[in-house]
Structure formats: structure tokens, C-alpha cells
A = this chain, B = another copy of it.
């Protein structure tokens, strides 16, 4: 019975590799244990069952995403900040498809750690939008729109929803520019709901 010396970090890293390589559905206690050369009940010494494992993966992913966004946006303002944010979001989702899936699982009600981790990602978007001339509710709506844009594109790309052989990066840039142009129009008050 050689003792592996497994710790939370390598556990999460291994689970992440599994998810990114074969999809989140491939992450089971059985498959993770096998990859770690361990029997699945032993995992309960580190994790409180499968739901807790998935939750910790989501937390880990949100932390990574938040810091990636913060890093790429740093020093930029206005349109450039929005572009950098969007690029970084897309890059993260492409680099960590399984982790990205984990992030999308709806958290339990009253899970403060998840709320906080998610709030930090949203905070990056808020920061970018806030110095954009949008105030109050308008800024909050804009944040929601950006999140919808990004998540929708990433999600459709990941599931292969875009069938045609048309450059996806072009679509993505076009989407961001369309948003920027639309926001300017709206900001200038040329419309009413």
C-alpha cells in the first residue's frame, strides 16, 4: 500500500486534464482514480464526492479565468479593453474546454465561495465597461450583453454548432466590433426601448 502523497493541487490538475481532453462527462470518480493509480473510494479523503469535485473544478476554473482576464485587460481602456477582454475569454475557453464546461454548472443556492469567484469574473467585465460612459443600470445591462455574446459564441463553437467552413475568428472579431458600434449608437441616445 504505497502512499501516493496526493494533494488538492495535483488532484485538480489531473481532473482538469481529463476534462479538457475528453470532456467534463468523462470526469468520474472512477476515471480520475484510475488516472491517479488509486481506488475510487480513496478519493473521499480529498474530495466530498463527485459534486464537490466538480464544484472545486469550477472554482479553480473561475480563478484561472478571472486572473487571465485581469492580466490581459491591464493597462487598456475603452474599446481596446473590451477587445482584450473578449480575446482573453475566448482564448481561455479554447485552452480549457473541460474547465469551461465545469464553470457553467449552476451553483447551489447559497454557495458563497462560488458566488464570490463568479463575481470576480463579472467584476472584470464591469471594470472594463464602467469607464465607458455607461452609468447605473445601463452599465449592468451592457455587462450582461457582453457575457451573453462571449458565452454564446464559445458554447456554440465548442459543441460544433457552426458547421460552415467560415473563419470563426473573423466571426468573433466581427461580433465584438458590432457590439462596440451598437453600444456607441445607444450611448448617444439615438434609440429608445
Residues of A within 8 A of B (CB): 104-107, 115, 118-119, 137, 140-141, 144-145, 147-153, 155-156, 159-164, 166, 170-171, 173-175, 177-186, 190-191, 193
Give A119 to B162 CA distance when docked, in angstroms: 10
Inter-chain CA distance A159–B114, complex, in Å, is 13
User: How many Å from the CB of A122 to the closest CB on chain B?
Assistant: 8
- State how many copies of this chain the complex holds: 2
Are A141 and B115 in contact, with the CB atoms below 8 A? no
Contacts known (A137-B166, A155-B151); A193 close to B173, Cβ less than 8 A: yes
26 cross-chain CB contacts under 8 A: A104-B155, A105-B159, A106-B160, A115-B163, A141-B166, A141-B171, A141-B175, A144-B162, A144-B166, A145-B174, A148-B148, A148-B152, A148-B175, A150-B152, A151-B161, A152-B153, A170-B193, A174-B186, A178-B179, A178-B182, A178-B183, A178-B185, A181-B190, A182-B183, A182-B185, A184-B185
Extra 17 A-B pairs, beta carbons < 8 Å, given A145-B175, A148-B153: A104-B159, A118-B161, A118-B163, A119-B163, A141-B170, A141-B174, A145-B178, A148-B156, A151-B161, A152-B153, A155-B155, A170-B193, A178-B182, A179-B182, A180-B182, A182-B182, A182-B185
Given the complex, which residues of B lie within 8 Å of A144, measured CB to CB?
153, 156, 162, 166, 171, 175
In angstroms, Cα B190 to Cα A191, docked, is 19
The secondary structure that dominates the A interface is: helix
Smallest CB-CB A-B distances: 5 pairs: A152-B152, A182-B182, A148-B152, A178-B182, A181-B185
Q: How far is the CA of A153 from the CA of B144 in the complex (A)?
A: 8
Residue of B nearest to A188 (CB): B181
Complex Cα gap A149–B166 (Å): 18
